[in-house]
């Protein structure tokens, strides 16, 4: 009678994908989704503060009145703004985890490469955006 010990793992000498690399890739994807959601929340709350008016015709008194009518809007804007400001730290963590996944021996490097590249490119894009805003801000 033949006995079966269950499924056998056949690996090419590697211990599977790097968990650090997978974490790096997941951070890149989830943080990007978070940034998109936070931008939608910020634009929605900003539109509520403007009260559907043309932004150039709104006075500070109008915004103050709208804040008094819906006091939760300022809190939503604050939390969303903090989340948006903290997102580069998550991308930086993703880069660090990706690099750590790249230096692991006997582990697959696919997700480590994908996570490092994705997080790194997004960080470089954010840095370029900030530098562009600084340059445009100083020329006005």
Q: Which of 35, 43, 41 is nearest to 88 (CA)?
A: 35
Rounded Cα gap, residues 66 and 60, in angstroms? 10
List, for residues 16-58, the tens digit of each pLDDT value.
Answer: 889 999 999 999 999 999 999 999 999 988 888 887 777 778 7
Q: Give residue limits of the domains in the chain.
A: 19-139
Provide the pLDDT for residue 12: 47
Say what the pTM is: 0.78
Task: Tokens for 8, please give them.
Answer: 């056998």
List, for residues 63-122, the tens digit of each pLDDT value.
Answer: 888 888 887 888 898 999 999 999 999 999 999 999 999 999 888 999 999 999 999 999
What ranges in the chain are assigned the alpha helix state H? Answer: 19-50, 60-69, 72-102, 110-139
């Amino acid at each position: 009678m033949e006995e079966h010990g269950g499924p056998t793992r056949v690996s090419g000498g590697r211990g599977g994908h790097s968990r650090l690399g997978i974490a790096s890739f997941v951070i890149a994807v989830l943080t990007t989704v978070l940034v998109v959601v936070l931008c939608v929340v910020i634009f929605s709350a900003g539109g509520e503060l403007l009260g559907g008016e043309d932004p150039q015709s709104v006075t500070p008194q109008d915004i103050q009145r709208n804040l008094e009518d819906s006091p939760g809007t300022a809190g939503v804007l604050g939390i969303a703004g903090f989340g948006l400001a903290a997102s580069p730290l998550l991308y930086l963590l993703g880069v660090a985890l990706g690099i750590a996944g790249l230096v692991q021996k006997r582990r697959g490097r696919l997700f480590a490469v994908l996570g490092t590249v994705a997080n790194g490119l997004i960080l470089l894009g954010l840095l370029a955006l900030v530098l562009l805003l600084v340059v445009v801000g100083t020329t006005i």
